[in-house]
Amino acid sequence: RKEVEQDPGPFNVPEGATVAFNCTYSNSASQSFFWYRQDCRKEPKLLMSVYSSGNEDGRFTAQLNRASQYISLLIRDSKLSDSATYLCVAYNFNKFYFGSGTKLNVKP
């Protein structure tokens, strides 16, 4: 079983839509979680960390559910520029485990 699993998508949504991604992790001892954004043929860039209490950064909201071992990312009012692959990451014992990524296409 993979350490981190994500729905690969693609999620095709119109501009202005709200879209949510989920990600599950297998190791209950995982310490920290992150969402990264990766544009085509570029390196991943940190979008936001995920805290147990949930956290929000503008149009982006991240949630962590330790009991069910999943994290989520909610994007409100989608923009064309949000089109990218979103990677879920779990940090565990000095290693970072990446999900395969969820592709988002925001259409005009």
Contact residues for other proteins (CB under 8 A)?
Answer: 31-32, 34, 41-46, 87, 91, 94-101
Shortest reach from residue 18's CB to other proteins, in Å = 25
Looking at the Cβ atoms of 11 and 34, the one nearer to other proteins is 34
Looking at the Cβ atoms of 36 and 75, the one nearer to other proteins is 36
Shortest reach from residue 88's CB to other proteins, in Å = 10
Q: Give Cβ neighbours of residue 60 (< 8 Å, ≥ 6 apart).
A: 35, 47, 48, 73, 74, 75, 76
CA 42, CA 79: separation in Å to the nearest integer? 19
71 pairs with which residues across the strands? 23, 64
Shortest reach from residue 73's CB to other proteins, in Å = 16
CA 51, CA 58: separation in Å to the nearest integer? 16
Looking at the Cβ atoms of 88 and 106, the one nearer to other proteins is 88
